[in-house]
Structure 1
Amino acid sequence: MKATNMPHRSPTSSLSLAPPSRACGIDDVRAALLQSEMRYRILLDDFPVAVYCCDANGKLTLFNDAAVQLWGRSPKIGMDSWCGAHRMFTIDGHPLPLDRCPMALTLLEQQDIDVAEAIVERPDGSRRNVLAHPRLLAGPNGEALGAINIVIDITERKRLEEQLKDADRRKDEFLAMLAHELRNPLAPVRSAVEVLKAGRSSDVQISQAVRVIDRQATYLTSIVDDLLDVARIRHQRVTLNKTSVELAEVLAGAIDVVAPEVAMRGLRLTVEQPTHPVLLHCDRTRLDQMIGNLLNNAAKYNRAKGAIFLCVTVEGKDLVVTVRDTGIGIKKAILDQVFDLFTQGQNGSTQQNGGLGIGLSVVKAMAEMHGGSISADSDGEGCGSEFCLRLPIVTTDAQLRLVVPVVDVDRPQTIMIVDDNPDAADAMKMLLEIYGHQITLAGDADEALLAARSAMPDVFLIDIGLPGMDGNALASELRALPSGRRPRMIAVTGFGQPEDRQRSLAAGFDDHLIKPVCLTPLLKSLVPSTGPNASG
């Protein structure tokens, strides 16, 4: 079919072709038609979506370059019918005969179709999702001359939609699992608290209750730390604080963390490590986290009475940490996905084994920040798993040798705790009084300033998120007070981003501790010679 003029809408919403004027000569009409067809052809070829026409019998009469690219073939004018596609399918994947395609239905039923979605298969087997917009073409007397179809390729849009659906599904699964993981440790904590409240517990029962609370609090802290690390990694806000550390100390700390889980599951942990001292230059906290996450992963997905093998070797400048378990294993098909964020469970068994699906992704990110790598291997389900962490952090530089400051953490001091949470302040007060310190409490900045003007303490422990004047502003005000000595100021807060630490130190704090604060770093931070700790 040759287009005689640009189509326009008729009152019946179909497209009609205007007839030439009777005043025109035949040569003028032919010239006008030729010029119109050329403009129409140029317009169609420049159009970014597929456009084609069929006559009243369904034979193809016109198509543009975009249609050829969509179909993957160039159909024959006057021979191919209804559509230039090799094959078509419904959106459910069922075969769609060409004589039932949107263009065919429009012509056969003489009725426009608003929008129809289908799948086009090319001769090479590749498929494209499309939206078809067929419209009837009417002659000057309303007779059907054929139809035009504008076909939009929505394959990329469908792919993005599926990605969004998958991300939404994984988010919902993650939130459900997060609620599960937070409730799990809270249940034994609540039971242990009830044991202590009963007042009839034996010393053994009290000791057991305390161990339960300590263990579950440590686990809750690790969950929060992993969640914060995920946010920092995604926004590229993680910075490494590299220092010189001894390998043996790192391994001892990581093993201590996983020991309760190993004991509870009845697992056997075998450790092989160098017999000679090995000095590392790395972020101690992050190395602890990497090894700890691998060991926790091995414990979590192990079978009852199973085994974990931790092998640490030195290859030149590389520290090689291999963690192997006798657990549920990993399907070969998902080996490459175990380090993806929110991939929960090694074989979809998160409901049984727990976990948020973020531990291994954190290990991968931290390893790469150290210039290293992490790999996973498994012979399949039921065959256990092996993770190999390789980090170029071994050093023999004498200048990097670890220096452990000797501090007097037992010297009693006067300490003011500034916190608007009475439970948090009272608990910290009880803890520090056990170690002989004299404690005063202040619920806000005004109360703290008033007390400091009367008697300046040796140390301030200040929550940043105070009502009214916040902790940073309070620290600046306290520094401006006239005093014969400079008190030590420690921020104790839940704000743990690098910029939070920078703001607190700029405000006059000497240290920045992240809640919940462990006892050892807290006691060390009280002593001026320890310097900034910035730990939790």
Structure 2
Amino acid sequence: MEGKIRYWNHGAAELYGWSREEALGKFSHRLLQTKFPTPVEELTDVLHRTGHWIGELVHTTRDGRCITVFARKTLDYDGEGNAVAVMENLTDITARRTLEDSLAARAVELARADRSKDEFLAMLAHELRNPLAPLRNAAEILQTANATEDERRQAQNIIGRQIENMSRMIDDLLDVSRITEGKIELRKKPVPLEAILTAATSLVHSGCDARHQDLAVSMPAEPVFLNADGTRLEQVFTNLLNNACKYSGDGCHISLSAERAAGVEPPEVIVRVRDDGAGIAPELLPRVFDLFVQATRALDRAHGGLGIGLTLVSRLVKLHGGSVEAHSGGLDQGSEFVVRLPILRRAPPPTPPPPPVAREISRRLLIVDDNTDSARSMAILQARRGHVTRTAFTGPDALTAAAEFLPEVVLLDIGLPGMDGFEVARHLRAMPALAGVFLIAMTGYASPEDLLAAKQAGFDEHLVKPVDLDILRVWLRSRVQN
């Protein structure tokens, strides 16, 4: 069927690159290196039985490109009904086929992402519900009249730990979103690497002790300084150490080591987190830094977490101009994470000592939140610190209370029903009796757009829920009394 070329028009010359003179007389399947979708015998049989064949072929052009063509082959007969030639009409569909293949691959990718999203949402619901049980139990203990001091102390510790767990999960989610959208801002300054690693190890020591794990730490022989956001890098190494602790099992060995890279320009430090625990499966290793990837989706969720910690690690390290790699010999072979970060060539000048802490001054605080438990508990905490407090649970009530109480500081929730916190803030700013009032937004929203909206509404500061009481304490101490 594939005989010598007897006709070669201008369109064929443009498509394939051979001139009419060069193509005539050549065997078409050899010249074009034809790749058939089915065995040639089957295609030939269809052509001879029906007189025509329609399908797609892959050809190679003169310059070596592979193209896909839509081919229509028709037998040409002589006067006696004998097949004497094959008339072939070809249309280049390479671009269309490439687009279709790309769309098909994208559909597969989207389906996989959709499955990951569904698994993640189920996991998120599980992980956020987990702290509720101990929180409820602890609340019951505190409400029990005959609870011992030790039981009350344990209940308070439980509440603190579970709130920290929930806050950490929510912060991780927000961080991933901000980094993905390019909205995270690093607060870089010269920081000693040892301080960052020491802070990270201090946060995981209790977890390692509970599992009888050995944590060995090795620092560089000489101090190493980085131009970095120390809080973010502490987050990186805490995540890596927490993973080693969680996935390595009881009695395993974990090591954190740091050393200057030899003969590298610009200079950098290499930090390794090793363990001899569960290891990483070979099929998972290439995707271990992908979003929502975890080694197991088992129902027992023994290790917990949202599968976003390593994604944060990777992206935060890259934002610092570094790199991170994962290595493992396979399951039960342990794992190693290697972080490379650029370092300063010389130590920065010493920083001056911090100014003395201002003494506590009693303030008049108006606390506005439609979550009455949140408002009342905040009022109790601030009253215990010597402040005079008043609460309100709606926007109109807040304006009435402000006019009567004349607060120096207003802690104002943004998500109020009816009249939101932005509108309340604008009304407060318009009251002559409250000129200079210190307005602090309390909200679960913390994007750059939210911060800008708060500033435009007249807020002085912005606190993300759950409110960091230490930051609030500093603001109240440093606020100049009007």
CA separation in 2, counterparts of 1:128 and 1:204? 77
Distance 1:167 1:343, change over 3 A: farther
Amino acid at match of 2:231: T
Distance 1:421 1:236, change over 3 A: same
Amino acid at match of 1:363: V
1:511-526 to 2 correspondences below 5 Å: 511-526=461-476
Aligned to 1:162: 105
What SS is found at the alignment partner of 2:183? coil
- CA distances 1:23-45 after superposition (whole Å, capped 9, x unpaired): xxxxxxxxxxxxxx88xx33455
CA separation in 1, counterparts of 2:283 and 2:129? 36
Aligned to 2:164: 218
Aligned: 1:173 with 2:137: no
Amino acid at match of 2:50: E
What SS is found at the alignment partner of 1:467? coil
Aligned: 1:344 with 2:294: yes
CA separation in 1, counterparts of 2:401 and 2:360? 25
> Under a length normalisation based on structure 1, what TM-score does the superposition of the two structures give?
0.70
Answer yes or no: is the 8 Å Cα contact 1:442–1:448 preserved in 2: yes
CA separation in 1, counterparts of 2:282 and 2:25? 47
Aligned to 2:182: 236
Answer yes or no: is the 8 Å Cα contact 1:409–1:526 preserved in 2: no
> Under a length normalisation based on structure 2, what TM-score does the superposition of the two structures give?
0.77
- CA distances 1:92-147 after superposition (whole Å, capped 9, x unpaired): xxxx312334x86466335776xx678x5979xx99896856475899x9x99756
Answer yes or no: is the 8 Å Cα contact 2:369–2:393 preserved in 1: yes
Distance 1:285 1:496, change over 3 A: farther
Aligned to 1:184: 127
CA separation in 2, counterparts of 1:133 and 1:240? 58
* Of 308, 318, 324, the match for 1:358: 308
Distance 1:184 1:235, change over 3 A: closer
Aligned: 1:397 with 2:338: no
Aligned: 1:196 with 2:109: no
Aligned to 2:41: 99
Aligned: 1:108 with 2:81: no
1:51-130 to 2 correspondences below 5 Å: 64-65=15-16, 80=29, 86-89=34-37, 96-101=38-43, 105=46, 108-110=49-51
Amino acid at match of 1:321: V
What SS is found at the alignment partner of 1:301? helix
Amino acid at match of 2:235: Q
Answer yes or no: is the 8 Å Cα contact 1:107–1:146 preserved in 2: no
Distance 1:305 1:442, change over 3 A: same
1:371-382 to 2 correspondences below 5 Å: 371-382=321-332
Aligned: 1:493 with 2:443: yes
Answer yes or no: is the 8 Å Cα contact 2:429–2:435 preserved in 1: no
Distance 1:396 1:502, change over 3 A: farther
Q: What fraction of aligned residue pairs are identical, expressed as a percent? A: 33
Aligned to 2:248: 302
Distance 1:196 1:494, change over 3 A: closer
**Structure 1 residue 193: Cα displacement:** 0.6
**Structure 1 residue 519: Cα displacement:** 3.1
CA separation in 2, counterparts of 1:163 and 1:264? 45
Aligned: 1:42 with 2:6: no
CA separation in 1, counterparts of 2:183 and 2:356? 33
1:251-330 to 2 correspondences below 5 Å: 251-273=197-219, 281-313=227-259, 318=268, 320-330=270-280
**Unaligned segments of structure 2, at least 5 residues:** 2-6
Aligned to 2:367: 417
- CA distances 1:283-323 after superposition (whole Å, capped 9, x unpaired): 23212211212112222321332122122456797554322
Distance 1:76 1:377, change over 3 A: farther
CA separation in 2, counterparts of 1:444 and 1:226? 31
Between Structure 1 and Structure 2, how many residues are aligned?
455
